């Protein structure tokens, strides 16, 4: 029971500390390891004939289709390299709408007529795969007659080898589409959104005299997660099946001492992190930082930023590697947004920016007035994009897990706003006042920003509560949830930005075509944008209740939960936005909406059923056993001629609690019988009827827990799970 798990955990920690369970391999040289399992650009150059390499580069950098002949050559080189590393299988790796990744392994080996086997891999196998995909969610998009989907290699993300004990598999990152060409995954719309934002950003850059032909969305996601002893994890059905604890009283010591944040990392955890990092290094994920987070047993891992499409693949690989390596160290990794009530949850800070093909960061303040003008235009585009598309961005991070963070008692809130920091705010305030006609002065913008001082990332004003913060040379979308695939939030961001940049480019093109000086036109444009969209800028404390009032006054959206947020995905405006930039057509977008809604309903349903199960099979038997013990003790006192006022009181109090608990368990179970009708109505039912019933049940369960004896309690407690490591 609880104590058994405790004993196992203690043993596991002891084994670790005396070295019995420590891996003996010497630490590998990280620099040598980096990318050693990736079919990188360098390898491609070495192993491919020049014309083939050039054809592949054209595909990668300009999106040109790869002809069958060079594709065969690429496939052959890939296979030789993979087989040389012991690979026997290859897989098309893709990101269906479930939010996790999927793969189907095929052998390279093809039996031959003479009874031997030949390693074979052709261009068409590299480029196209056909998983039997009828049971992946499609949001009703595929009717049965067209149930097949296929995976198509995404050459912008290099293949890698997944080595696991005695097997090695060549992993080919792919997009997953239906035979009618509709996107069934999360990768395809992301790639399309990157095209869209690139096109519009290039138009703006061209006005500033740049020769860039491509712009890339860049992304550096910081992943928060918990690591707890695996014995505790196994003893909690809720952690196993729901990823979070559904019962559990607050420990006497939580995070109030704040002695965890950036504190020293426990040795076993550090060893686990080191292996995660090494594994990720090998497959080319540039992980860089690690540290303790705010809550006990909470940590963070962050990579160096990359182009968003690669960053998304690498982020999925990071989550998978964390999950896979933790057990080797006797740990379990929890990626849920809120594994423990009452302590901080986990998020994913999605650092995002735009960069041209020469590597110039478009959201970094420049050295010259001209550069700064361009920088301010891109910043203004972000302000316009986030304000205009608040609803979409909010919906892009909605989910049952994130409802415990956004809009609950945790940062960031459900209201989207932008933190600009003092310096940028000051600049935009000046721009707001400056009228368009007086912007010319010595060829610079008359807004007091002839040259912006370098904005320091660490300027003491970093705000941890903002959902969307400027951090010196990039924006950080912090409302993204820890367990989610970051594809869709980035797709939404790119779509919103494409729209803002499109409008900006059009306005500036028209003004300059009419003979206006660029800086005059920019001055006018910036003034208009900031006047119109400044309501989205908020530098204060996003936790404060006053902010909610202030945001309401500013008419900002405040969508507190998934059920309120998701419809924002399919508003007329959003449909038009996605269609206009050919990111998703209406059917594809609706499909996502349906999948997200269904996922919400299923999640709550699983959680509620688990609560009923845990109540009946774990908590009640323990509670009734203790109730009997108290009863027997009171009876014994009475039989001896004594009276026990407190004993009787305890018996009455405990019995009443247990009664209420059982009644509430049955009530929740009865409510689950209900069939909610349409998915929308069902989601409302889940939110308004099931979740409150779950909360009441939990409250009663947690009250029973703190009155019950340790050795009878069947579940590891918060104190054990969070502090024994
Ligand atoms: P903090 O924890 O203080 O927010 P970190 O240094 O841990 O900061 O993480 C910052 C993240 O932002 C890193 O992943 C980094 O690579 C990323 N980043 C930096 N510059 C850019 C950029 N131009 N585009 C996208 N991400 C960026
Ligand atoms: Mg951070």
- Nearest ligand atom owner, CA of 480: 2
Distance 125 CA to ligand 2 centre (A): 40
Atom of ligand 1 nearest to the CA of 361: 23
DSSP 38: B
Phi, psi values for residue 309, rounded to 5°:
-65, -35
In this structure, the residue with its CA closest to atom 1 of ligand 1 is: 222
Atom of ligand 1 at shortest range from CA of 289:
7
Other residues' Cβ atoms within 10 Å of the Cβ of residue 579: 14
Q: How far apart are CA 469 and CA 472, in angstroms?
A: 9
Nearest-atom index, ligand 1, CA of 363: 23
**490 Cα: distance to centroid of ligand 1 (angstroms):** 15
Token pair in block for residue 285: 């994920």
Of all protein residues, whose CA lies closest to atom 2 belonging to ligand 1?
Answer: 222
Q: What end-to-end distance do the CA atoms of the chain give, in Å?
A: 18
Compute CA 281 distance to the chain's CA centroid, rounded to the nearest angstrom.
20
Q: Backbone phi, then psi, for 56, in 5-degree steps?
A: -65, -40
- Give the pLDDT confidence score for residue 444 in this predicted structure: 40
How many other CB atoms are found less than 10 A from the CB of residue 18? 9
Closest approach atom of ligand 1 to CA 302: 14
Question: Ligand 1, residues 201, 219, 220: which to mutate, most atoms within 8 A of Cβ?
Answer: 220
Q: What is the pLDDT of residue 436?
A: 35
Closest to 508 in 3D by CA, of 207, 214, 213: 207
The pLDDT value given to residue 455 = 55
Nearest to 267 by CA among 566, 36, 15, 629: 15
Find the 225 Cα to ligand 2 centroid distance in Å: 12
CA of 138 to the centre of ligand 1 (A): 34
Ligand with minimal distance to 293 CA: 2
CB 468, CB 476: distance < 8 Å: yes
Peptide bond into 412 cis (omega under 30): yes
Q: Which two tokens stand for residue 563?
A: 């059920």
Q: What is the pLDDT of residue 26?
A: 53
The number of the ligand nearest the C-alpha atom of 359 reads: 1
Read off the pLDDT of residues 660-701 as tens digits, 9 standing for 90 and up: 999 999 999 999 998 778 999 999 999 999 999 999 999 999
Q: How far is CA 654 from CA 144, 248, 253, 648, 702, in A?
A: 56, 17, 25, 10, 12
- Closest atom of ligand 1 to 355 CA is 23
- Choice from 350, 379, 474 to test ligand 1 binding pocket (greatest atom count within 8 A of CB): 474
Give backbone dihedrals phi and psi of 308, rounded to 5 degrees, phi first.
-55, -40
Residue 351 Cα, ligand 1 centroid: separation in angstroms?
5
Spell out which residues line ligand 1, taking CB within 6 angstroms.
Answer: 218-220, 222, 289, 302-305, 349, 351-353, 361, 473-474
Helix or strand or coil: residue 91? strand
At 199, give phi and psi (nearest 5°).
-60, -45
Q: Ligand 1 atom closest to Cα of 353?
A: 24
Q: How far is the CA of 661 from the centre of ligand 1 (A)?
A: 47
Ligand 2 midpoint to CA 343 (Å): 17
CA distance linking residue 559 with residue 555, whole number of Å: 12
Q: Which atom of ligand 1 is nearest to the CA of 351?
A: 26
Cα-to-centroid distance, 305 and ligand 1 (Å): 6
Q: Which ligand is nearest to the CA of 360?
A: 1
Ligand 1: nearest atom to the Cα of 304: 16
> According to the model, what pLDDT value does residue 2 have?
56
Q: Which domains does the chain have, with CATH numbers?
A: 34-185 (3.10.20.70), 187-220+347-446+465-582 (no CATH), 600-723 (1.20.120.1560)
Q: What distance in angstroms lies between residue 390's CA and the mean position of ligand 1's atoms?
A: 23
Rounded Cα gap, residues 280 and 267, in angstroms = 20
Instruction: Report yes or no on whether pTM surpasses 0.85.
Output: yes
Which ligand sits closest to the CA of 288? 1
- What's the 222 CA to ligand 2 centre distance in angstroms? 6
Ranges of the chain with pLDDT below 70: 1-3, 18, 20-28, 111, 115-119, 130-136, 139-148, 254-263, 409, 411, 434-462
| Gap between the Cα atoms of 249 and 701, Å rounded | 8
Ligand having the closest approach to the CA of 224: 2
d(CA 62, CA 83): 30
- Closest ligand 1 atom number to CA of residue 364: 23
Nearest ligand for residue 350 CA: 1
User: Nearest C-alpha to atom 19 of ligand 1 is from which residue?
Assistant: 305
d(C-alpha 205, C-alpha 518), whole Å: 12
Counting ligand 1 atoms within 8 A of each CB, the residue from 262, 312, 351, 361 with the most, and so the one to mutate, is 351
- Residue 221 Cα to ligand 2 midpoint, Å, equals 9
Give the model confidence (pLDDT) of 108-117 as tens digits.
877 677 766 6
CA of 286 to the centre of ligand 2 (A): 16
pLDDT at 394: 98
Neighbours of 699 (CB within 10 A): 15
Please calculate the CA angle 252-715-232 and round it to the nearest 5 degrees: 90
Atom of ligand 1 nearest to the CA of 222: 14
């Amino acid at each position: 029971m609880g104590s058994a798990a405790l004993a196992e955990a203690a043993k596991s920690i002891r084994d670790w500390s005396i070295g019995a369970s420590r891996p003996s391999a010497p630490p590998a040289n990280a620099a040598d390891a980096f990318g050693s399992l990736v079919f990188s650009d360098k390898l491609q150059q070495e192993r491919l004939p020049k014309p083939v390499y050039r054809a592949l580069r054209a595909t990668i950098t300009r999106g040109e289709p790869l002809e069958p002949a060079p594709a065969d050559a690429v496939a052959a080189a890939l296979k030789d390299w993979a087989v040389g590393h012991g690979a026997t299988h290859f897989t098309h790796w893709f990101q269906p709408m479930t939010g996790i990744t999927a793969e189907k392994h095929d052998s390279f080996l093809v039996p031959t007529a003479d009874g031997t086997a030949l390693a074979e891999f052709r261009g068409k196998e590299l480029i196209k795969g056909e998983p039997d995909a009828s049971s992946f969610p499609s949001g009703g998009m595929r009717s049965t007659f067209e149930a097949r989907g296929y995976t198509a290699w995404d050459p912008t993300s290099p293949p890698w080898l997944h080595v696991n004990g005695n097997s090695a598999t060549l992993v080919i990152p792919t997009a997953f589409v239906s035979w009618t060409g509709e996107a069934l995954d999360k990768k395809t719309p992301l790639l399309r959104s990157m095209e869209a934002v690139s096109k519009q950003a290039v138009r703006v850059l061209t006005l500033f005299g740049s020769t860039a032909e491509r712009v890339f969305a860049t992304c550096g996601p910081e992943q928060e997660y918990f690591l707890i002893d695996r014995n505790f994890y196994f003893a909690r059905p809720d952690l196993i099946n729901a990823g979070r604890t559904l019962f559990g009283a607050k420990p006497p010591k939580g995070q109030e001492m704040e002695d965890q944040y950036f504190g020293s990392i426990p040795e076993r955890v550090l060893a686990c992190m080191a292996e995660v990092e090494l594994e990720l290094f090998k497959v080319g994920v540039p992980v860089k930082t690690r540290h303790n987070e705010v809550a006990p047993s909470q940590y963070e891992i962050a990579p160096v930023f990359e182009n968003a499409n690669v960053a998304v693949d690498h982020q999925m690989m990071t989550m998978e590697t964390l999950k896979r390596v933790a057990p080797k160290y006797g740990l379990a990794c929890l990626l849920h947004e809120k594994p423990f009530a009452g302590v901080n949850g986990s998020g994913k800070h999605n650092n995002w920016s735009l960069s041209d093909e020469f590597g110039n960061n478009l959201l970094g303040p420049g050295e010259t007035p001209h550069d700064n003008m361009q920088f301010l235009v891109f910043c203004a585009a972000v302000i316009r994009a986030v304000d205009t598309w608040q609803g979409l961005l909010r919906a892009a991070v909605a989910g049952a897990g994130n409802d415990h963070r956004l809009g609950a008692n945790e940062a960031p809130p459900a209201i989207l706003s932008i933190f600009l920091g003092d310096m940028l705010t000051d600049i935009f305030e000046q721009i707001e006042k400056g009228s368009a006609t007086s912007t010319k002065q010595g060829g610079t913008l008359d807004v007091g920003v002839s040259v912006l001082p370098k904005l320091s990332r660490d300027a003491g004003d970093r705000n941890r509560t903002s959902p969307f913060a400027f951090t010196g040379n990039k924006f950080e979308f912090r409302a993204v949830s820890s367990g989610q695939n970051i594809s869709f939030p980035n797709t939404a961001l790119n779509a919103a930005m494409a729209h803002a940049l499109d409008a900006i480019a059009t306005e500036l093109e028209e003004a300059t075509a009419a003979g206006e000086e660029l800086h005059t036109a920019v001055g006018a444009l910036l003034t208009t944008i900031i006047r119109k969209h400044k309501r989205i800028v908020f530098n204060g404390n996003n936790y404060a209740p006053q902010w909610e009032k202030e945001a309401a006054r500013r008419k900002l959206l405040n969508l507190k939960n998934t059920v309120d947020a998701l419809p924002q995905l399919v508003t007329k405006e959003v449909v038009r936005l996605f269609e206009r930039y050919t990111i998703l057509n209406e059917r594809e977008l609706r499909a996502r909406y349906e999948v997200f809604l269904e996922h919400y309903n299923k999640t709550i349903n699983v959680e509620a059923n688990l609560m009923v199960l845990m109540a009946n099979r774990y908590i009640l038997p323990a509670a009734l056993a203790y109730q009997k013990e108290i009863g027997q003790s009171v009876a014994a006192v009475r039989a001896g001629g004594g009276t026990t006022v407190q004993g009787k009181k305890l018996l009455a109090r405990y019995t009443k609690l247990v009664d209420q608990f059982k009644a509430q368990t049955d009530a929740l179970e009865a409510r689950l019988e209900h069939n909610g009708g349409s998915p929308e109505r069902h989601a409302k039912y889940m939110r308004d009827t099931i979740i409150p019933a779950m909360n009441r049940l939990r409250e009663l369960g947690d009250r029973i827990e703190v009155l019950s004896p340790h050795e009878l309690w069947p579940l590891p407690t918060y104190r054990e799970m969070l502090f024994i490591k």
